[in-house]
Amino acid sequence: MSDSVDSEGILQFCQITNAEPTVAMGYLQISEGNIEQAVSLFLENGGAPLEAAVPRRQASPSDHWADAGRSAQSSSYHNNANDDVRAPLAPRREVLVESGSLYDTPGVSSAHLYATGVSEGHRSVFDQLPRSSIGGGIGIGGSSSSGSTSAERKSNRLAELFRPPFDLIQNLPFDQARGLAKSQRKWILVNIQKVSEFACQVLNRDIWSDATVKEIVRVNFVFLQLGHESDEGSRYINFYPVRKYPHVAIIDPRTGERVREWNDNITSAAEFAEDVTQFLGLNAYGGSQPIISQQSKRPRRPDPSHQTRDISAMTEEEQIQAAIAASMAKEHQPTSHTHNHPNPGDAQDDDDEDQDRSGQNQLEAIYHSIQANEGTEPGANAPEATTRVQFRLPNGSRVVRRFRTDTPVRDLVAFVKAKVPEANEHIVNIQYHRENLLDKLDQTVAEAGLQNASITVDA
């Protein structure tokens, strides 16, 4: 058994692929013990044993000439055996590249060599270089698609299936990408990939190939996909630590702040599209204020007899002007005790603002009165009276918890406060289908329609 192949690696390969140990040994020897590369080769080769897939190299004319030369040389030395000359050194012949090497194996296309970093100075497929071999049938050696074998065609199909989204990727350094994003008023979407992680390949296959995700990314983002060992990828990781792969994050090009991230928790294209859409709805480019429904303020004529605006909200200059106006109005005020409003619409606007301010203050008081408490999770012995609720937290992680259907929504807010420390300092957005759950504190889980819900928590 080769030094680079151990029994544990063969066992792990067999458990993943359900292949025979002899087949596993062949693939592991080719990949020098790297299980990820061995499994990829196995899948691209259709599970065929390498002995069957790799043709034996035919002897070349140069080999026949070399054999003839050695024969003549040996005959010459035999004729001079009686001379006092030492015997010649035995000829030594070695093969630098075995006939069953990675470069000669049918079914291993240039696209796979790109992905595994074998060719061109270990350049990775995630360095944003399009592969001309994909779809064209041109592999190493320049053979055309018309003469390609079934294994090569299968390899090309796999390469196309896991192809990076070159139509979305901006092949720019990070600094230039920031400048482009600022000029186009877009966010930066960064994807850090690790070749040895199969989840990274799945991201290319299932997420970036989705038509809805493509449209969202194309319209709202400057997209970068970087290998974790590339120069730009290493520079990104130095500034923004990455915990797991694949890593996806949204960067504000104006400040360089990482405002949203996903770490190995993107399960489907639809869910990712919903996450990104919610982010875009809550964070309009050009301002970081929270999305709060506000009435547009109409310009109004100064009214010295109507000063209901809160004094504490005025600037010093406005307070002085208000005092002067109130003094002048008092001198000309009619003796009637009725309160006149020259413009009834202005009075209605002020009343609405006072009501909104009062309602907001009341909501904040209720929110801060809820104490952080995870509570006790009910058992699963009564499924009709319980339900599972998923919380997507600001750090990108997910927490799934079981609640009774008659649990008040305020208990879910208490659970969020226990899981999100910053939720105890200020109000956070707790939303389900764009509805703020703070407006449903007195409803039960069933009344609010939160059975099997996925709730988003945005700090």
The confidence score (pLDDT) of residue 116 equals 39
Q: Quick one: pLDDT at residue 109?
A: 40
Alpha-carbon dihedral 327, 328, 331, 333, rounded to 10 degrees: -100
pLDDT per position as a tens digit, 247-264 = 999 999 998 999 999 987
- DSSP alpha helix (H) spans, 253-298: 269-282
Q: To the nearest whole number, what is the mean pLDDT of the chain?
A: 73
Best CA proximity match to 140, nearest among 119, 168, 167, 170 = 119
Report which DSSP code applies to 166: T
CA angle, corner 289, sides to 317 and 183, nearest 5? Answer: 105
Could you tell me what percent of the chain has a pLDDT over 90?
A: 24
**Residue 152: how many other CB atoms lie within 10 Å:** 20
pLDDT value at 287 more than 50: no
Strand order in the sheet with 454-458: 398-404, 386-392, 454-458, 429-432, 435-436
Higher-confidence position of 212 and 342: 212
- Distances in Å between the alpha carbon of 347 and those of 300, 337, 343, 352, 452? 11, 17, 7, 9, 46
Residue 30: the pLDDT is 82
Give 203-231 pLDDT, tens digit per residue: 989 999 999 999 999 999 999 999 989 99
Higher local confidence (pLDDT), 299 or 233: 233
The mean per-residue pLDDT over the stretch 1-13 comes to: 74
Is the CB of residue 4 less than 8 Å from the CB of residue 32? Answer: yes
Task: Write the single-letter amino acid at 112.
Answer: H
> pLDDT digit string (tens) for 39-68?
888 888 877 887 544 444 555 555 555 555
Concatenate the DSSP letters of all residues of 224-252 into one string: EEEETTSHHHHHHHHHS---SSSEEEEE-
* CB distance 33 to 5 below 8 Å: yes
Share of the chain above pLDDT 70, in %: 61
Question: Higher model confidence: residue 407 or residue 382?
Answer: 407
The per-residue pLDDT for 45 is: 81
Write down all domains in the chain, each with its CATH number in brackets: 174-282 (3.40.30.10), 383-458 (3.10.20.90)
Alpha carbons within 13 angstroms on the beta-carbon side of residue 313 total: 7
Vertex 20: Cα angle to 14 and 26 (nearest 5): 90
Query: 55 or 411: whose pLDDT is higher?
Result: 411
* CA dihedral angle for residue 214, residue 123, residue 200, residue 227, rounded to 10 degrees: -80
Which 3 state secondary structure label does DSSP give 268? coil
pLDDT for res 439: 86
182 pLDDT tier (thresholds 50, 70, 90): very high
Q: What is the pLDDT of residue 97?
A: 47
User: Which of 29-38, 117-126, 159-168, 173-182 is the most confident on average?
Assistant: 173-182
